Amino acid sequence: MNWKSKISGALVATLALGSLAFTPVIAKTDSTKIVAGPQAVTSQSTIDAYYQPAAGKTGAALKASLHDIIDNHTEVSYDTVWTALKETDQDPSNVNNVIELYTGKSISKNSNGGNVGQWNREHVWAKSHGDFGTSMGPGTDLHHLRPSDVVVNSARGNLDFDNGGTKYSGCDCNRDGDSWEPPTRVKGDIARMIFYMAVRYEGGGEIDLETSENVNNGSNPLHGKLSTLKAWNKLDPVDAFEKKRNDIIFEKWQKNRNPFIDHPEYATAIWGN
Ligand SMILES: [Ca+2]
Ligand SMILES: [Ca+2]
Ligand SMILES: [Ca+2]
């Protein structure tokens, strides 16, 4: 078989599989949008329309516009977070597993809980930074919650993010007394989650979370380190896994998006270079 017939055969198989697999979940009211399950995909035209009010803006005006676009999302309960993470963070090559944030390990969806060897719900914006706990709101916002190995989650604790420290054996991570450095594979993901939280939560009856150039932020509603996070945003670009989880959260759970996944350049437009 030459390469042309291989490609043509694969294309026919893909199209046949595609029509079988995806037809049942396309919403009747909007042929551009697939609305159900972990396959949820948002069309580019929907994404473009979503950010239209922010067009041409920079700095504080862009931040305010993005806040207006993403606020008032549908909040989920802390218990529902378990169910949602099994979809948003599903292993692309094993439907029975999720991928842990810091270890990158594929682990059974059902191995969730609080024991050694299990995965639990990591608040990437450490919930003590603003002391918002696990009640509905920032404590259950799926855009910054990820499956994590229980022991590694505890080791990260409430540390700010920065480069440096000594190797932590539980993952390809470094830490010292005031900061945690995750593997490069997720450095950008983490930066974009922190940026989202700073824009989503702006006071007005809710907490106001902000990025900070400092580490050691204690219980202040601040998360660092901004210059490192801006560098990580560029070092680890958005990939298919991150886009997919953004789409699933938008389509199925919260009805809002992380602007920094759709437009990583917004970070520079707001916080500078
Ligand atoms: Ca440090
Ligand atoms: Ca990444
Ligand atoms: Ca804020």
Q: How far apart are CA 244 and CA 241, in angstroms?
A: 5
pLDDT at 23 over 80: no
How many angstroms is it from 164 CA to the middle of ligand 1?
Answer: 6
User: 67 alpha carbon to ligand 3 midpoint, in Å?
Assistant: 9
CB 206 within 8 A of CB 141: no
Neighbours of ion ligand 3 (CB under 5 A): 198, 202, 208-210
Which amino acid type is present at position 251?
E
Closest to 271 measured CA to CA, from 228, 220, 217: 228
Centre of ligand 1 from the C-alpha of residue 189, in Å: 20
80-107 pLDDT tens trace: 999 999 999 999 999 999 999 999 999 9
Task: Decide if 89 contacts 146 (C-beta within 8 A).
Answer: yes
Q: Where are the domains of the chain?
A: 57-271
CA distances from 121 to 32, 73, 129, 140 (A): 32, 20, 16, 9
| Rounded Cα gap, residues 219 and 161, in angstroms | 15
Chain centroid, CA 187 distance in Å: 11
Ligand 1 centre distance from Cα of residue 180 (Å): 7
CA 181 to ligand 1 centroid distance, Å = 9
pLDDT tens per residue, range 197-212 = 999 999 999 999 999 9
CB distance 173 to 182 below 8 Å: yes
Note the pLDDT tens digit of each residue in 172-192. Answer: 999 999 999 999 999 999 999
Ligand with the closest atom to the CA of 234: 2
pLDDT of 24 > 80? The answer is no
